[in-house]
Amino acid sequence: MSYDFAAMLQTIKDKQWSLADIDWDAPGAETMTDELRAKMRPFMADLVWIEHVGARGFASLATKAPTPEIQEIYRYFHAEEQKHANAELALMKRWGMLDEDGTMPEPNINVKLAIKVLDDFGDTLPLSGLATLIPLLECALDGALVKFLLEEISDPVCHQVFRHINSDESRHITVDFQVLELIGASAPHTLLIETIGNLKPQVIIGLIVVFVPLINKMRDNIVAMGLPEQKLYNAVKRFVTVGGRGKHTKRIPAYHVLKSQAAMVIDRSHPYHRYLADPMVKVTSLVPARLLGKPQSWTEEITHEPVAS
Amino acid sequence: MTLGEFQGELIRGTAWLGHDFTGQRVAVIAPGREAAQIVPEVAATALSVKVFQEEPDWVLPLPVPGPRAVGVAMARVFLRWQVKDPWVRRLLTPDRFGSRRLAPGLGYFATLRRPNCKLITWPVYAFAAAGVRTAEGVEHRADCVVLGPSSVFARTATPEGHPA
C-alpha cells in the first residue's frame, strides 16, 4: 500500500510551533559557563548555517516534487528548517554568543561555497540526488550533532527547543525515505535518466568541491570537541538501515553512492580522507570569499526575534 | 482553519477597495492573482504591508489577448524587468503545481519594492491575538488582516467574533 502523504501533510500542519511559544528569558541561561560558551559557539554557528542551507535545499526539492502533496510538505519543511535555524540563533543570543546587535555569525568558506552552488544549480539538480542527500544530512544532524549538543548543555530551554526540533526532524526523515521509496519504484528508464542527470559536471564538482570538505571540516571540528566517533557511525548506520528497510530505495544508484561516501567519512583511517577530503579542505580554505559574489537574499531571512512588527 | 483569537480588524471579500488603512500594519493573505489587485490599493494608505502569498501566479501589467503561452511569456518578461532580486523573483514564479493563472496587476511588483512592503511566502498556520503565525516560527504583528476571496482562510475560517 502506498504511503499517505496527505495525512502526513495534515499532521505537519497540526504540529506547528512558534518561537513565541518559548520563554526565552526563563531560568537556565546561567548554566552556560564561559568555557562552554567558547567551546560551543563555533559549533552552534555551524549548526545554524547547516539548518539554514538545509532549508534552501528543501526549497529546491519543492520545485521538483512528484505530487502536489509532497510539494506542499516540502514547502512546510523549508519553513521548518528555517524555524530551526531561527530557534538555534535565538539560543545563541540567550547564551550571549552573538554580538550586541544580534547579527548572524559569518559562515565559513565551505558554507559559502554550498550557498553559491545552491543559488546557481540548486533548482536544476535532479530529484533523486537531492532527495538522497537530504536524509543523510538529517540522520547526521539528528543522530549525532543534536544528541551531542543535548549531552553538553543542561539549559532546560535548549532541551525544550530541541524536543520540538526533534519531533519535526522525525517527520522529515519519515517523508524523506518515503519519497526515496516512491523514486525507487519508478520505471527503470526513469531511474536511468535521473542517474544520468546526477552525473552532470555541476553535480560531481559540487559534491567534490562543496560537500566533501564541508562535511569533513564539520566532522573533524566536532570530533575534536569531544563527539564520540561511534555517534557518527550510528547516524550513518541509521541511514543505511532505514534505507535498507524500503523495498525500492535500493534501486536508486545515488543512494548507494552516498551510502558508500558516508561510510568513508566516518572511517578516519580510510584513504578517502588522505587523498580527497583533507586536500579539499586545504584547497577550499584558500578560495577568496569575494570570488563567490553576493549570496541571494534568502541568506538574510534568518532572525532570532520571535515576533516581527 | 480558524481565525482563533485575532483581535485586530478583519477584512474579507472586496471590502479592502476604497478602505482607509492609515496608520495600520496590514497583513494581506491571498494567492498571487488576488494579492496583485489588493496590495497596491492597501499600500496606498497603510503604514506597512506584509503580503502572505499562498501560491504564486503569473502577473501581467494588462490583460493580454491570445494564447496562454503568449501571456506567460509576457508575464516572465514583466517579472524579470520589475524584480531585480533573484530570490524574490523565484518566490513570485509559479511552479509545476498550483493554479498558475494569469492575472493583471500593473503596480504589484513596484509596490513590493517599497521599503514598507514585504513579500512572505512561508505558510500561515495560525492567527494569534495580535497577528499571524507562519511556519518559520515567527509571529508577524498586524493591526488588520485582509483575506483574499480565495484564501485558504476565507474558505474555511470560522468567524469567532469576525462577521463575514
- Residue percentage of chain A with pLDDT more than 70: 100
Higher pLDDT: B48 or A186? It is: B48
pLDDT at B2: 65
Mean pLDDT of A200-211: 81
**Where would I find the beta strands (DSSP E) of chain B?**
9-11, 25-30, 48-53, 58-60, 102-104, 117-120, 124-128, 131-134, 139-141, 144-147
The string of pLDDT tens digits covering residues A72-86 is 999 999 999 999 999
The string of pLDDT tens digits covering residues B2-37 is 677 899 999 998 999 999 999 999 999 999 999 999
Among partner residues A18, A65, A75, which is closest to B137 by beta-carbon distance? A18
Report the distance separating Cα B37 and Cα A230, nearest Å: 57
Residue B164 clears pLDDT 50, i.e. is over it = no
For chain A, the domains span 33-299
The string of pLDDT tens digits covering residues A222-245 is 888 888 878 878 888 888 888 888
Helix (H, G, I), strand (E, B) or coil at B8: coil
Residue-range domains of chain B with CATH: 9-156 (3.50.50.60)
Q: Do A306 and B138 touch (CB under 8 A)?
A: yes
Contacts of B87 in chain A (CB under 8 A): 296-298
pLDDT at B158: 56
Mean pLDDT of A134-140: 86
Rounded to a whole number of angstroms, the distance from the CA of B53 to the nearest CA of chain A is 13
Mean pLDDT of B143-148: 96
**Residue A121: pLDDT band by 50, 70, 90 thresholds?**
confident
The string of pLDDT tens digits covering residues A149-178 is 888 899 999 999 999 999 999 999 999 999
Average pLDDT, chain B: 91
Residue B1 clears pLDDT 60, i.e. is over it = no
Mean pLDDT of A101-106: 81
Residue B73 clears pLDDT 90, i.e. is over it = yes
Contacts of B23 in chain A (CB under 8 A): none
Residue B141 clears pLDDT 80, i.e. is over it = yes
A33-299 CATH: 1.20.1260
Neighbours of A186 (CB within 10 A): 18
> Which candidate, A276, A62, A285, A26, places its Cα nearest to that of A179?
A62
In order of A29, A111, A268, A277, A285, the CA distances from A282 in angstroms are 37, 15, 17, 9, 5
pLDDT at B148: 95
In order of A43, A132, A287, the CA distances from A160 in angstroms are 19, 29, 39
Residue A141 clears pLDDT 80, i.e. is over it = no
pLDDT at B157: 58
For residue B47, the chain A residue with the least C-alpha distance is A309
Contacts of A16 in chain B (CB under 8 A): 125-126, 133, 135
pLDDT at A25: 95
Interface check for A307 against chain B (CB to CB < 8 A): the answer is yes
Contacts of A79 in chain B (CB under 8 A): 122-123, 134-136
Rounded to a whole number of angstroms, the distance from the CA of A73 to the nearest CA of chain B is 11
Among partner residues B90, B96, B125, which is closest to A16 by beta-carbon distance? B125
**Residue B163: pLDDT band by 50, 70, 90 thresholds?**
very low
